[in-house]
Structures are given as C-alpha cells and as structure tokens.
Structure 1
C-alpha cells in the first residue's frame, strides 16, 4: 500500500491562518495546483468590509499562493467563484475581475450564488497547470 503525501503550498505569512482552520491553502498533484477558496480578508482574518476591496484582496491572496507555487494566473485553467446575493453583488464583483483575469483565452468558470461565506461576500478557488520543470 502506498502512502499519499500531500505536497502543500503555503503563502508566506499566512501559515498560522491555515493551521488554525485545519486545511491546506493549495496542493500540488500530478502537474496541477489545486487552490482552496480564497477570500479578501484583513491581516487578522476578518472580512474586508468594502466589496471591491474584498474581491481585490481575494485575488491578491490567490496570486500569493500561485506565486509561491511558481506560477501565475496565466496558468489557471478552471475557476469557481462563490458570491453571496449575486443579484446585488455581481456587477460590483465583475468590474474588478478584469484587473486580474488577463487576456483571452480565459479559464473556464463556474459561478455559484450562496447564502453564507463566513462573513465574506466573494470567494475564488482555482485549478492551475504547474509549469513544466526541466
């Protein structure tokens, strides 16, 4: 029987947050990076109250993990976003997204409306293709 060791990626300065909440920020597996949902939290982990700033913070946290793994949003192939009350938040969220999304072709996207995100209004999780290592 083989043992499956998870190759965890921790962004700098946030390890305690993940250890406290008992999950991995990202895992490398078979040439891919699977990133846990990222939110726009302040240093203490509380939600950024301004929605645009919260979305930017989520992308900033996501980009820190991608960078730590040696890739960028350009390598993202699949995105899932969660939005509380998308009827009232979608337009605000989607005017921030192009700042981080890059040029076409864009990754695949699944957008899900939810009723609760632990005090947040937006969360993003992704799967990225890791660069080939020589």
Structure 2
C-alpha cells in the first residue's frame, strides 16, 4: 500500500485529525484539496456569509501554500453552494476577488441542501509547480 503524501496547513492539523480526513494529498504532480469551508480555527462556521466565503478562500490558500502552490496553480474548481438561486451572485462576486487574472481554472458550481452549517465550500485540484510538464 502506498502511503499518502498528506499536506496540512499550519495550525489546523488537530481539526483535520479530529474529523478524520486529510486537507490535501499530493499525487502524480497534482494536489487534491479537500473541500474548504469558512470555518474558524475551532471549526465553527463564520456567521457572516461574505466573511464565510473569504475565510473559505483563506483556508484554501493556507492548504495550497503548505504544498508550495498558489491559486494560480489551480486547474479545477468545484463550488458547493447552499441555495444557489439566492446566494450564487454574492458568493461569485466575493470569489472573484480571489480568482486572479486569466487564464482561469475550469469551474463547476453545484447546488446543495446542506453543508454542516456552512453556505459555501470550495474543492480544488492544483498542479504542483515543477512536478509536471505544462
């Protein structure tokens, strides 16, 4: 059995261990990042919806940074949104502040009914710089 090459962001390893999953795994030149939500350090949801999206991106960026990546290395994005008909435009507006310049990664938005008290979750796959040819 191959041992997973797990990446933990600084200061949050206990939270991931408590919940029994890895924040990200390196494999084949790519970084597969688990869904990131707008959780505070203790795991509780950020109450303000816009701040929750910002915190989700901050949590995502912490995982990417721990692996030597940045959002510019992201090639695939999946967004999970509770009640997207109501929240999509606002979430998309905040997300664009983190998105960066073109060319953009491909993206899929999925409407869901429940995210454990959160309104937004982002899951990505990133190319690890220097590990794979362009």
TM-score, normalisation: structure 1:
0.96
Query: Which structure 1 segments of 5+ residues have no match?
Result: none
Deviation at 1:106, TM superposition (A): 0.4
The count of residues paired between Structure 1 and Structure 2 equals 131
Structure 1 stretches (4+) deviating beyond 4 angstroms?
Answer: none
- 1:63 and 1:52 mapped to 2: Cα distance? 17
- 2:93 and 2:50 mapped to 1: Cα distance? 9
Partner of 2:121: 123
Say which SS state the counterpart of residue 80 (structure 2) adopts: strand
Say which SS state the counterpart of residue 9 (structure 2) adopts: coil
Query: Which structure 2 segments of 5+ residues have no match?
Result: none
Return the match for 1:84 from 78, 82, 85: 82
Say which SS state the counterpart of residue 8 (structure 1) adopts: strand
Provide, for residues 43-83 of structure 1, a one-character-per-residue CA deviation record: whole Å limited to 9, x for no partner: 21111111100000000000000000001000000000000
CA RMSD of aligned residues (A): 0.7
